[in-house]
Structure 1
Amino acid sequence: MPQQSTAADTGRPLPDWKPAPLPQPIPLQGDSIRLLPVDPARDASDLYEAEHAADADPTQWDYLAVGPFDNPQDFSAWLKNCAASRDPLFFTVVDQHSGKPTGVLSYLAITPEHGSIEIGHIWFSARMQRTRQATEAIYLLARHAFDDLGYRRLEWKCNSLNLRSQKAALRFGFTPEGLFRQHRVFKGKNRDTAWFSMLDSEWPAQRAVFEAWLHADNFDSAGKQKKSLQQIRAEQA
């Protein structure tokens, strides 16, 4: 079991602490999706098509370090870089029913010696945004980090202008930690970065919320949620 942490335990000795293992490019199985190591040969065509679909979000790359991509060659080159990287460690989100890739996300800022890891570089196509699949992708990475690898801290960071990402972090149960001013120069502009975290001591309660929300009983015949994550969290508090 991972060493538990709280907000008030600064200075507490951790005599049994051992560095967490590095995450590996292995499949992570969910109910509605699988997370697979990025494979450009398998993923590039479908993901590029999703990026340029008629219903594609015109702001989808605004807060990512790459994109948008004007041709499939540049998109494929980006995926090849993703596949070769280990920090960030990228995964493709694959729809369990259709078998088609629908998005990409990663672990990053991986520091095993401190037990800290981040979820980021999230690009979800329009067909995946605000869906059960999007939430399950975050759940699978969080569960793997805490339960399988024994990390103490899971981070979420985003541009302070990216209000949608900040809202998502709160929805997923992350705690806001403040603003890092002039943290990055991003696409030629200043970036202030909003920081969020979840600790291993907080994860069991958040895991129960995720699992209750993801349960089939929480969705009607049209696939619409019956209770939100926030409602379930309030009920279980």
Structure 2
Amino acid sequence: MTAPSPAQSAPERIVLEGRFVRLEPLEPRHAKGLLAVSSLPGGPERYRWLFSQAPTSLAETEERIAAQNEGPDRYVAIIDQRDGSLVGQQAWMRIFPEHASIEIGGVYWGLPMARTPLATEALFLFARHAFDDLGYRRFEWKCNNRNEPSKSAAKRFGFQYEGLFRQDRITKGESRDTAWFSMIDSEWPALRAEYQRWLSPDNFDADGQQKSRLTTR
């Protein structure tokens, strides 16, 4: 058996281009857009399961971005290719090139991404870069076990449930049990093909509605 290899490196601060979204390294210039999408009606509620609350001012948003960029995680802004607006953010977390393991986390997919291909492509661009460009073996997804939409999304995207870390965190004054999911490199070729099929222009009608569902199982 061939010995496992480390990944090439941690993800660099580069732009990842898709048909629906563009992922850019999160910078202070994105603060206005992040505040705007977080402040839409219903937007703050989407922070319910994150470690932070929704930002309430431009200065707070700029400070948060600066603090995030000083830490070990690497955040990106999610840009809608149609009009250049910022619609969310996500991050590379638990970055272990030596073990070829990495996580997508810090996910805030704003309301403009709901029930659109944007979220699926944002996830796909991370997975493809991790597996195909950088040589990672393991791609993780974690969430509060009470966050049923997140667990459903993980399964839809092709992550496999691995187990529950009980009383893993205290978040916003509440005990958090953390559900762990992953996909690994041996699973990726089939998942990649299904993502590419689903994201193809042929799979969407003139109104932008999917003709068939993403099938990862």
Larger radius of gyration: 1
Query: What is the CA distance between 1:115 and its match in structure 2?
Result: 0.7
Matched, 1:150 2:135: yes
The match for 1:70 is 56
The match for 1:98 is 83
| Distance in 2 separating the partners of 1:70 and 1:112 | 35
User: Cα 1:19–1:98, aligned 2, differ >3 Å: closer, same or farther?
Assistant: closer
Query: What is the CA distance between 1:218 and its match in structure 2?
Result: 0.7
Matches for 1:146-225 after TM superposition, within 5 Å: 146-225=131-210
The match for 2:38 is 51
Q: Which of 69, 74, 77 is residue 89 of structure 1 equivalent to?
A: 74
How high is the TM-score relative to the length of structure 1?
A: 0.87
The match for 1:126 is 111
| Distance in 1 separating the partners of 2:11 and 2:115 | 26
2:113 alignment partner AA:
M
Q: Which of 5, 20, 23 is residue 11 of structure 2 equivalent to?
A: 23
1:187 alignment partner AA:
K
| Distance in 2 separating the partners of 1:116 and 1:154 | 6
The match for 1:5 is none
| Distance in 2 separating the partners of 1:144 and 1:113 | 17
Task: List, as ranges, runs of 4+ consecutive aligned residues in structure 1 with deviation greater than 6 Å.
Answer: none
Any conservation in 2 of the 1:40–1:83 contact (CA below 8 Å)? no
2:106 alignment partner AA:
H
| Distance in 1 separating the partners of 2:201 and 2:155 | 23
The count of corresponding residues between Structure 1 and Structure 2 is 217
Unaligned runs of 5+ in 2: none
Instruction: For residue 180 of structure 1, give the secondary structure of its aligned residue in structure 2.
Output: strand
Query: What is the CA distance between 1:20 and its match in structure 2?
Result: 3.5
1:20 alignment partner AA:
Q
1:24 alignment partner AA:
E
How high is the TM-score relative to the length of structure 2?
A: 0.95
Query: What is the CA distance between 1:211 and its match in structure 2?
Result: 0.6
RMSD after superposition: 1.5
User: Cα 1:197–1:84, aligned 2, differ >3 Å: closer, same or farther?
Assistant: same
Query: What is the CA distance between 1:68 and its match in structure 2?
Result: 2.1
Q: State the identity as a percent.
A: 43
Query: What is the CA distance between 1:71 and its match in structure 2?
Result: 2.1
User: Cα 1:66–1:58, aligned 2, differ >3 Å: closer, same or farther?
Assistant: closer
Query: What is the CA distance between 1:141 and its match in structure 2?
Result: 0.3
| Distance in 2 separating the partners of 1:215 and 1:174 | 21
The match for 1:36 is 24
